[in-house]
Amino acid sequence: MNTDPMKTTDSTKTIVTFGTFDLFHYGHLRIIERAAGLGTKLVVGVSSDKLNWDKKQVLPVVGENERMAIVKSLGCVSEVFLEESLDKKREYVIRYNADILVMGDDHNREYDEMLEGTGCKCIYFPRTAGVSTTQIKRQMFSEFEGSNSESCSTRNDDDSCNSEESSKDMNMARNEQYSAISNNLVRASEPRNRVMGALLDAHDWYYDQVMNICTPFCAKMPRDINILGFQLTIFTANIVTYARGMLVFPIALLMKNGYLCSASFSVLFHDFLDHLDGVVAKQQAKEGRSKGDDSVYGAFIDAQMDKLVLCLSMWAFLLLLDHNTSYVNIIVVLTLLTLMGLESCIACVRCSDYFKVKYAVAYGSLPAVRAVCEGKLKQKFESIGLALYCFCLPNPAEHPLFLVAGSVCLWFAAYFSTQSLLAKRPDALKWFNVCMKTKAE
């Protein structure tokens, strides 16, 4: 007896559905079986490795050929093909003469308009509660970290707990978080202490408020407009990123001409726009309006623009500073030069990571191109510190309150810069310790 209300006994219908089907589990099986129950021919599109990377900056654990073989082995599946683009679903529906497209209900009504004129309708099935590939990966990673920590406590540093294979497994699990539709603040590791945890929570709370306020605007704002028959893209995350990059010019001019309140506001407004481009990226990815954007490049240029604007603004501040040899000025100059040096190092690391990710997708474990928690906190303290420093021009000694508050923020930024750098290049700390030990001997 047919107990599923969605099932039909129509023997002429072709059903098409899509998925990654990584770490194949019961939820995958359930949606495939339900889709098969809508007709007699089920065609399944399995997302390619490249498509998954373009969408999430994460490679599936199981390769595309193996995933296709697993799905094809199911008795209810008639045909399997490789899905190479999210924008080709209409083309696939027409190619396989589909009567019904089956998607998860997290895409509710997303494909209705796209299917107009094809003779195909879309049915949205609910996801199977309590199971998902992401959940499985997180559980695997959690168990791996626990067992790895336990085993490392009884082994030497050079033992297998530090092996290249272990590092790859950890990077895979961590990279799962680097997605346009993931949590607001990427946390590559747990906070080291309560202060760090409180700062992260405060940052994430602030970002949540920005998300809640700006998401309705981003949802209504058109991505493209038509001018005299030409389609012009006017609103994407990258466009917001480029726009905030241009703020470096008014910031420098405002400082030069003595409009210190406006200069301080512009620095903080740049920080706000850095959050806004993230909101735009998330909203457009959620709505399927990304249109195959290069998300790897987007994450890279977003991070580099922060460094460009803040370093040039700090350089402008140094040029406008009264050039004397007071202790106060020396401390200010050393603070800003230290931060600029650290930012330059992080920028070089990000360039290296970007090209590794861009041109070595097939080589397994890859570096993440988005900022981890230390990097986000660094940027926040840096923006606030520089905004406070704006009020100190041209002689910081005359404005002790802004000087002290700004310096504290910038010293925190320097600390988090080193933590961010070490998080991306952990071997640097080991190399430093070896050098210091050798020097001592």
- What is the tens place of the pLDDT at every residue in 45-85? 999 888 887 777 677 888 888 899 999 999 899 999 999 88
Which residue did the predictor score with more confidence, 417 or 140?
417
CATH class belonging to 194-440: mainly alpha
Say if residue 116 is exposed, middle or buried (CB neighbours under 10 Å; 0-12, 13-18, 19+).
Answer: exposed
User: For residue 255, what pLDDT is reported?
Assistant: 96
User: For residue 9, what pLDDT is reported?
Assistant: 43
For residue 158, pLDDT beyond 80:
no
For residue 109, pLDDT beyond 90:
no
User: For residue 374, what pLDDT is reported?
Assistant: 63
Domain ranges of the chain: 14-125, 133-175, 194-440
Can you list the alpha helix ranges (DSSP code H) found in 321-399?
327-359, 373-390
Pairwise CA distance, residues 62 & 78, whole Å:
22
Let me know if the fold of 14-125 is the same as that of 194-440.
Answer: no
Q: Which amino acid is at 37?
A: G
Sheet holding 100-104, edge to edge: 79-83, 41-47, 14-19, 100-104, 121-125
For residue 118, pLDDT beyond 60:
yes
Q: Which long-range contacts (CB under 8 A, 24 or more apart) does 67-74 make?
A: 67/20, 67/21, 67/22, 67/24, 70/21, 70/24, 71/21, 71/24, 71/32, 71/44, 71/46, 74/29, 74/32
pLDDT band at 426 (very low <50, low <70, confident <90, very high): low
- What would the pLDDT profile of 382-394 be if each residue is shown by its tens digit? 999 999 999 999 9
Mean pLDDT of 259-281: 93
Pairwise CA distance, residues 286 & 58, whole Å:
17
pLDDT band at 203 (very low <50, low <70, confident <90, very high): confident
Please state the pTM of the whole predicted model.
Answer: 0.58
Mean pLDDT of 341-359: 84
User: For residue 364, what pLDDT is reported?
Assistant: 43
Residue owning tokens 């998860």 = 104
Pairwise CA distance, residues 61 & 39, whole Å:
31
Q: Which amino acid is at 418?
A: T
Which residue did the predictor score with more confidence, 10 or 176?
10
User: For residue 272, what pLDDT is reported?
Assistant: 93
Least trusted range by pLDDT, from 156-170, 187-201, 287-301: 156-170
Least trusted range by pLDDT, from 127-131, 139-143, 412-416: 139-143
CATH fold for the domain made of 14-125? Rossmann fold (3.40.50)
Pairwise CA distance, residues 287 & 270, whole Å:
26
